[in-house]
């Protein structure tokens, strides 16, 4: 017999209730199903903002997971801000999802990927980070908690030091958000990403938090429905945040009944 955590029951019930009673495209219709689905969808955005203490709901971008969130930043931030000779720093303990997108970005734009070494105990060597950090550093991408080692990285120190050289910082929070309090404003993170399925939520859903001023200057990652304002064969104008980065309609975001949530806040 499978024993479920009480939060898993709330998610299963919410999923069942959605598919039985409210299943419809969000933001696309004036009929009651679409309105109810849209209300639930946007209510989850509000809860997510509160959960990580983002400044604005428009800073919460729904993705298909942590991996897509990182790829979104690599592609969009790369197009807007990365030039030949710029440097991107990652650590030696990163998940593949926080390695490969930066390698691809560097190959495309002629940037340089540098790796912060770690000790035998699996901790970032901060003295080496200090040496690698320079005026050429445009972005630092590290995990909050290592998925393989369990190391809790000193991201507050990393963010503070990176900002002193005007570098942006992306934090992979897939392993941290389910287990510790995260306040993105307190951390002063530029980007922070995580996945629903690691917090009793449904699979195929992720979150990218990004500071509004970065997101405003970044081009859309994908084209399609929802991310547009007006479309013609001659020209397309893009939607406002957060919808500029939410092409298509492939997310299912739910509020479990009785005010329960699929994560521990």
- Which residues pair with residue 240 across a beta bridge? none
- Distances in Å between the Cα of 72 and the Cα atoms of 64, 75, 112, 141, 218 are 11, 5, 19, 13, 10
Comparing C-alpha atoms, which of 218, 215, 214, 237 is closest to residue 227? 237
Size (the chain), residues: 265
Domain ranges across the chain:
6-259
Q: How many Cα neighbours within 13 Å face the side chain of 5?
A: 11
> What's the pLDDT at 252?
55
> What's the pLDDT at 257?
43
> What's the pLDDT at 256?
46
Which residue is it, tokens 């013609």? Answer: 232
> What's the pLDDT at 91?
98
- Which residues pair with residue 228 across a beta bridge? 238
> What's the pLDDT at 254?
52
Instruction: Identify the CATH class of 6-259.
Output: alpha beta
Distance CA 155, CA 160 (A): 8
Q: Indicate the pTM of the whole model.
A: 0.88
Per-residue pLDDT tens digits of the chain, which is 265 residues long: 556 566 667 888 888 888 888 877 787 777 877 778 878 888 889 999 999 999 999 999 999 999 999 999 999 999 999 999 999 999 999 999 999 999 999 999 999 999 999 999 999 999 999 999 999 999 999 999 998 898 999 999 999 999 999 999 999 999 999 999 999 999 999 999 999 988 878 888 899 999 999 999 999 988 877 777 777 788 887 777 888 998 876 555 554 443 444 444 4
Rg (CA), the chain: 19
Supply 241's token pair: 């945040």
> What's the pLDDT at 185?
98
> What's the pLDDT at 158?
98
> What's the pLDDT at 35?
79
Supply 153's token pair: 């990285």
> What's the pLDDT at 258?
39
> What's the pLDDT at 248?
78
> What's the pLDDT at 4?
58
Crossing angle between the packed helical segments 100-109 and 66-81, to the nearest 10 degrees = 20
């Amino acid at each position: 017999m499978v024993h479920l955590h009480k939060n898993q029951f709330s998610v299963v019930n919410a999923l069942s209730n959605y598919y039985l009673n409210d299943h419809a495209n969000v933001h696309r219709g004036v009929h009651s199903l679409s309105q109810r689905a849209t209300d639930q969808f946007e209510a989850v955005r509000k809860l997510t903002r509160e959960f990580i203490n983002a400044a604005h709901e428009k800073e919460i971008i729904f993705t298909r997971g942590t991996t897509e969130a990182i790829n979104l930043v690599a592609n969009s931030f790369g197009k807007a801000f990365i030039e030949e000779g710029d440097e991107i720093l990652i650590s030696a303990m990163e998940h593949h999802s926080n390695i490969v997108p930066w390698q691809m970005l560097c190959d495309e734009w002629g940037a340089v990927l540098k790796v912060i070494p770690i000790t035998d105990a699996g901790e970032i060597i901060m003295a080496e980070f200090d040496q690698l950090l320079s005026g050429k550093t445009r972005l630092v991408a590290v995990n909050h908690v290592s998925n393989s080692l369990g190391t809790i990285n000193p991201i507050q120190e990393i963010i503070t030091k990176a900002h002193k050289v005007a570098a942006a910082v992306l934090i992979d929070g897939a392993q941290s958000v389910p287990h510790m309090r995260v306040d993105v404003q307190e951390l002063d993170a530029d980007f922070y990403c995580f996945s629903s399925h690691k917090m009793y939520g449904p699979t195929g859903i992720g979150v990218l938090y990004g500071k509004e001023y970065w997101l405003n200057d970044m081009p859309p990652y994908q084209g399609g429905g929802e991310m547009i304002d007006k479309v013609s064969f001659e020209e397309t104008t893009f939607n406002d945040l957060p919808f500029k980065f939410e092409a298509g309609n492939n997310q299912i975001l739910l509020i479990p009944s009785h005010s329960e949530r699929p994560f521990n806040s």
